[in-house]
Amino acid sequence: MLGLHPTRSARGIALGAIALLAALACGNGATGTSAQEAPSAQQILRVNDSTEPNSYDPGQQTYTYEAAVGRTVFEPLLKPKADLSDVEGATAKSYDVSSDGLTYTFHLRDNAKWSDGKPVTAKDFVYGWKRLLNPALAAGYVDPFFDNTVAGGAKYSDVNAKDPAAIQSFLDGLGLSAPDSHTFVVKLAAKAAFFKWVATLWVGAPIRQDVVEQAAGGPVPVTDTTKAEAWANNAATIIGNGSFKISEIVSKDHVTEVPNPNYWGGAAKIQQLIYYFIPDQNTALAKYRTGELDIDNVQATNVPVVRNDPKLSKQAHLLPELTTFWMTFNSKETPLDNPKVRLALAQSIDRDKLTNDVLQGTDKAFQTFIPKGMTGYDPSLGASQKFDPAAAKADLQAAGVTAAQLSKFKLLTRNTTTSKTVNEFISQQWQDNLGASIQLEVIDSKTVTSRIRKGNFDIYGPDGWGADYPDQQDWFDIFQTNACHSLNWGCVTLSGYDSLVQKADTSLNESDRNSAYTQAQKQLIDTGAVAFMYQQYEYDLVQPYVSGLTITPIDDEFIPGDNHYHDAFITKH
């Protein structure tokens, strides 16, 4: 999962998104005809990215505010189709998969070029992927997407990052090659029908060796972590292959991008794409009101302000994300090791009241795992976690557990406004509907993270997951047995679950994959592995003169349309 701002797919999703696209594509509220494009000098798109990227090297980026910049300046092999039904060519015009599913051959576009005009070659991808898999550079997105899929990558975590020979041997053994300048070949460790989605991740972009070495003053040792990143610290030396290029970096304020004139898809219409780093949401909203921002996210505290404003309310859009939140139970503690007890806790929460009254309608009640908008979304699977106080009491009684026994537990809560507000509501629901007095334990976020990793909690939440790409494979390893104290914080053990996930992950038959994933999802729900709560949506403001946006649920958080900014434009206003 992308590192999300506060926390962070063939779709039916796009129904909400498509309705929005139609509205935004008109511009200025016009209907039936496209509004006229503004002059070139006015083609400026100003977006609040809230936080400055830690790095401008795509391979060293992890968080959504970094990806927003990285994916416009660099381009991977493939990209998701606008409706997320499949992948399509990006820098690679096409790809082939061997009959055994173990070799992917990507054919690069003849006209794919870097921002300085030089052609993008297959060797640039070999170099970029080997940099990504270099243990010394410790890229945040290597595991599990690349080390667990590329042949030879499995020992990534075991390589001595201070031993040049060990690193070089590891890199030389990876299943990456360039038989010619337009052919990039990836050999996989095992069958992985989802690998096409891995090839859409922006971190898998090509990197130019000559650019890195020129900025470093010569060849870079594989163990070096400073010279290796020198090229990414200066706008003048950041040479990318995306639709935009960086023209200036003003630390702690903004980064400006301009069109890459050599981009294979033609130059973008937007002449300046400016990402501002405004952390304070009130400041950002004020700038949006004055026209200093064209796109901005509305945080929960400002939702009523926007909804009650005659002008702003017409410019606000509720957009789905492929993100699900849940409450986690420590299954190592009795009686939380009992599925009926976990289900009782899940059944006694009114999710509609939570999302409508507490979250002010900006999220949607949810009692399944895979979010709406992805293959695998099936609300009929959630019956066992449906809000039903009578059923909750019956399950608790069947488990031979009393409300008094549950009252010994505490609800571990991050010291943030949203976490406290949500958990105060949930605690009250357990009191009202089960008679269990489960108190909040509110502490700083860093300590919470440390404690859940050690299993030092009773109940924790809201916890959740956001899609890295729209394939179910990205979700199910969260609850595998080997993820205990990793992502499976509650360490719930589910008989047969791991084998179902393994079957789905390695099958090349889509129907078989989906069937196995469905069985695994039903098991998560019916055993109360966690209490699924809501799907996250975001409430964003877009100025009416911003047009041509294609918005999807895998756009970076709070930056709608950024996967397709190449086609956006400003209309006369």
Q: What does 205-238 look like in DSSP terms, one character per residue?
A: ----HHHHHHHHTS---TT-SSGGGGGGG-GGG-
With CA atoms as reference, report the closest residue to 416 among 454, 448, 373: 448
Q: Is 540 helix (H, G, I), strand (E, B) or coil?
A: strand
Residue 348: exposure state from Cβ atoms within 10 A (0-12, 13-18, ≥19): buried
Query: What CA–CA distance (Å, rounded) separates 70 from 64?
Result: 9
The span from the first CA to the last CA of the chain, in angstroms, equals 38
Query: What CA–CA distance (Å, rounded) separates 488 from 491?
Result: 5
With CA atoms as reference, report the closest residue to 340 among 425, 434, 407: 434
pLDDT tens series, the chain, 573 aa: 544 433 332 222 222 332 333 334 434 333 334 579 999 999 999 999 999 999 999 999 999 999 999 999 999 999 999 999 999 999 999 999 999 999 999 999 999 999 999 999 999 999 999 999 999 999 999 999 999 999 999 999 999 999 999 999 999 999 999 999 999 999 999 999 999 999 999 999 999 999 999 999 999 999 999 999 999 999 999 999 999 999 999 999 999 999 999 999 999 999 999 999 999 989 999 999 999 999 999 988 899 999 999 999 999 999 999 999 999 999 999 999 999 999 999 999 999 999 999 998 889 999 999 999 899 999 999 999 999 999 999 999 999 999 999 999 999 999 988 899 999 999 999 999 999 999 999 999 889 999 999 999 999 999 999 999 999 999 999 999 999 988 899 999 999 999 999 999 999 999 999 999 999 999 999 999 999 999 999 999 999 999 999 999 999 989 999 999 999 999 999
CB 374 within 8 A of CB 322: yes
CB 132 within 8 A of CB 59: yes
With CA atoms as reference, report the closest residue to 140 among 61, 220, 39: 61
Q: What is the pairing mode between strands 316-329 and 530-542? A: antiparallel
Cβ neighbour number for residue 46 with a 10 Å cutoff: 21
3-state secondary structure 104-132: EEEEECCCCECCCCCECCHHHHHHHHHHH
Alpha helices in 299-416, H assignment, sequence order: 303-307, 339-347, 351-353, 389-398, 403-406
Residue 518: exposure state from Cβ atoms within 10 A (0-12, 13-18, ≥19): middle
Cβ neighbour number for residue 541 with a 10 Å cutoff: 23
Domains delineated in the chain: 14-247+543-570 (3.90.76.10), 320-537 (3.10.105.10)
Task: Please give the angle made by the CA atoms of 106, 470 and 158, to the nearest 5 degrees.
Answer: 70
Q: Which residues contact 511 (CB under 8 A, 6 or more apart)?
A: none
Q: From residue 265, how far is each of 84, 106, 138, 564 by CA, in Å?
A: 20, 18, 32, 12
CB 60 within 8 A of CB 230: no
Q: What is the pLDDT of residue 416?
A: 86
Residues composing the chain: 573
Q: Is 282 helix (H, G, I), strand (E, B) or coil?
A: helix
Look up the pTM and report it: 0.90
Give every strand in the sheet of 183-187, ordered side by side. 92-97, 103-108, 183-187, 176-180
With CA atoms as reference, report the closest residue to 516 among 505, 530, 532: 505
Task: Please give the angle made by the CA atoms of 196, 199 and 202, to the nearest 5 degrees.
Answer: 145
Secondary structure (DSSP) of 169-194: HHHHTSSEEEEETTEEEEEBSS--TT
Query: The tokens 């205990």 sit on which residue?
Result: 484
| Both tokens assigned to 326 | 């849940």
CB 440 within 8 A of CB 370: no
Q: What is the pLDDT of residue 299?
A: 85
Per the DSSP assignment, residues forming a β-bridge with 328 are 460, 530
Query: The tokens 């006015």 sit on which residue?
Result: 42
Query: The tokens 């946006």 sit on which residue?
Result: 549
With CA atoms as reference, report the closest residue to 529 among 485, 456, 478: 478
H or E segment to which residue 291 belongs = none
Residue 320 one-letter amino acid? P
CB 55 within 8 A of CB 229: yes
Query: What CA–CA distance (Å, rounded) separates 14 from 552?
Result: 7
Q: What is the pairing mode between strands 530-542 and 363-365? A: antiparallel
Q: Is 498 helix (H, G, I), strand (E, B) or coil?
A: helix
Q: What is the pLDDT of residue 55?
A: 95
Residue 294 CA neighbour count, 13 Å, CB half:
26
Q: What is the pairing mode between strands 546-547 and 44-48? A: unpaired
Residue 567: exposure state from Cβ atoms within 10 A (0-12, 13-18, ≥19): middle
CB 247 within 8 A of CB 239: no
With CA atoms as reference, report the closest residue to 67 among 3, 133, 17: 3
Q: What is the pLDDT of residue 360?
A: 86
Query: What CA–CA distance (Å, rounded) separates 55 from 139?
Result: 11
Q: Is 159 helix (H, G, I), strand (E, B) or coil?
A: coil
| Both tokens assigned to 552 | 């999807």
Query: What CA–CA distance (Å, rounded) separates 55 from 216?
Result: 16
Q: Is 529 helix (H, G, I), strand (E, B) or coil?
A: coil
Residue 495: exposure state from Cβ atoms within 10 A (0-12, 13-18, ≥19): exposed
Per the DSSP assignment, residues forming a β-bridge with 78 are 89
